[in-house]
Amino acid sequence: MATPALDDPGLPPGRGSLPALAVVGHGGGGGRDSQVRFDPTRFGLWAFLGTISMLFIGFTSAYMLRRASADWAPIAAPPILWLNTTLLALSSVALEAARQRLRAWKVTAARGFFGLAGALGAGFVIGQFGAWRTLRAQGVFLATNPHSSFFYMLTGVHVLHLAGGLVWFLAIAARLRRLTPGDDALGLFATYWHFLGFVWAYLLFVLFVL
Amino acid sequence: MAHAETHAAEAHGHADHAPQSFIWKYVFSKDHKVIGIQYYVTAMFMALIAGLLAMTIRLQLAWPEKTFPSLNFLTKGYTDGVMNPEFYAMLFTMHGTIMVFFVLSTAPVSGFGNMLIPLQVGARDMAFPFLNGLSFWTFLPGCIVILSSFFVGAGAAAGGWTSYPPLSALRSAVPGSEMGQTLWIIGMVFFIASFTMGGLNFVTTILNMRTKGLSMMRMPMTLWAMFLVAVLGLLSFPALTAASLMLLFDRHFGTSFFIPSGLVLSGQVVNHQGGSPLLWQHLFWFLGHPEVYILMLPALGFTSDIMVAFCRKPIFGYKAMVGAMLAISGLSFVVWGHHMFVSGMSPYLGMAFAVGTMLIAVPSAVKTFNWLATLWRSRIIFKTPMLWAMGVVSLFISGGLSGIWLGQTALDIHFHDTYFVVAHFHLIMAGAALFGVFGATAFWFPKMFGRMMNDTLGKIHFWFTFLAYYCTFFPMHYIGLAGHMRRIYDPYQYEFLKNLQPINQFITISAFILGASQILFFINYFWSAFRGEKATDNPWNAAGLEWTTPSPPGHGNWPGEIPEVHRWPFDYSVPGAEKDFVLQTDPAPIGDKAGSH
pLDDT at A96 over 60: yes
Residue B391 has pLDDT above 80, yes or no: yes
Say whether A12 and B592 touch across the interface (CB within 8 A).
Answer: yes
User: Could you report the per-residue pLDDT of A154-191, keeping only the tens digit for each?
Assistant: 999 999 999 999 999 999 998 887 887 777 889 999 99
- Please report whether residue A62 resides in a domain: no
The answer to whether position A82 is within a domain reads yes
Q: How far apart are CA B88 and CA B83, in angstroms?
A: 7
| Structure confidence by residue, pLDDT tens digits, B539-586 | 999 999 999 999 999 999 999 999 999 999 999 999 988 899 999 999
Amino acid letter at B27? V
Average pLDDT (A61-69) is 94
Evaluate if residue B597 carries a pLDDT over 50. no
A58 and B216 within 8 Å at the Cβ level: the answer is: no
Q: Using N-to-C axis directions, what is the helix angle for B277-311 and B221-252, rounded to 10°?
A: 160
CA distance B213 to chain A (A): 6
Degrees to nearest 5, angle at CA A155 with A153 and A158: 105
Is position A33 within any domain?
no
Radius of gyration of chain B (CA): 24
Residue A35 has what pLDDT? 53
Is the Cβ pair A15, B199 closer than 8 Å? no
Question: In this structure, which amino acid lies at residue B113?
Answer: G
> Per the confidence metrics, is the pTM higher than 0.95?
no
What span, in angstroms and rounded, lies between the C-alpha atoms of B550 and B553? Answer: 5
Res B405: pLDDT: 94
Closest CB to A7 among B212, B275, B318: B318
| Yes or no, beta carbons of A58 and B283 under 8 Å apart | yes
Question: Which chain B residues are closer than 8 Å to A61 by Cβ?
Answer: 282-283
SS3 per-residue string spanning B84-112: CHHHHHHHHHHHHHHHHHHHCCHHHHHHH
Q: Do B313 and A9 touch (CB under 8 A)?
A: yes
Residue A23 has pLDDT above 90, yes or no: no
CA dihedral B527, B226, B233, B207 (to 10 degrees): 140
Range of the domain at A159: 78-209
Q: The CATH number of the domain where A167 resides is what?
A: 1.20.120.80
Is A192 within the bounds of a domain?
yes
Q: What is the mean pLDDT of chain A?
A: 84
Cβ-count burial of A177 within 10 angstroms (0-12 exposed, 13-18 middle, 19+ buried)? exposed
Chain B contact set for A5 (CB, 8 A) = 317, 320, 366, 369-370, 373
pLDDT at A86: 98
In terms of CA atoms, which chain A residue is nearest residue B201?
A44
Mean pLDDT of B433-437: 98
Cβ separation A35–B8 shorter than 8 A: yes
**Residues paired with B156 in a beta bridge:** B180
Q: Which of A4, A9, A24 sits opposite B323 (nearest CB)?
A: A4
Phi first, then psi: give them for residue B283, nearest 5 degrees. -65, -40
Touching B: A residues 85-124, CB under 8 Å: none
Helix (H, G, I), strand (E, B) or coil at B265: strand
A-B contacts (CB, under 8 Å): 219
In chain A, the number of structural domains is 1
| Binary contact (A13, B3; C-beta < 8 A) | no
Contacts of A51 in chain B (CB under 8 A): 196, 199-200, 234-235, 237-238
List chain B residues with CB under 8 Å of A65: 276, 279, 282
Name the pLDDT band for A37 (thresholds 50, 70, 90). Answer: low
B337-343 own/partner pairs: CB under 8 Å, 24+ apart:
B337/B285, B338/B289, B338/B406, B338/B407, B338/B412, B339/B281, B339/B285, B339/B288, B339/B289, B340/B278, B340/B281, B340/B282, B340/B285, B341/B409, B341/B412, B341/B413, B341/B416, B342/B412, B342/B413, B342/B416, B342/B417, B343/B278, B343/B281
Domains of chain B: 32-256+276-596 (1.20.210.10)
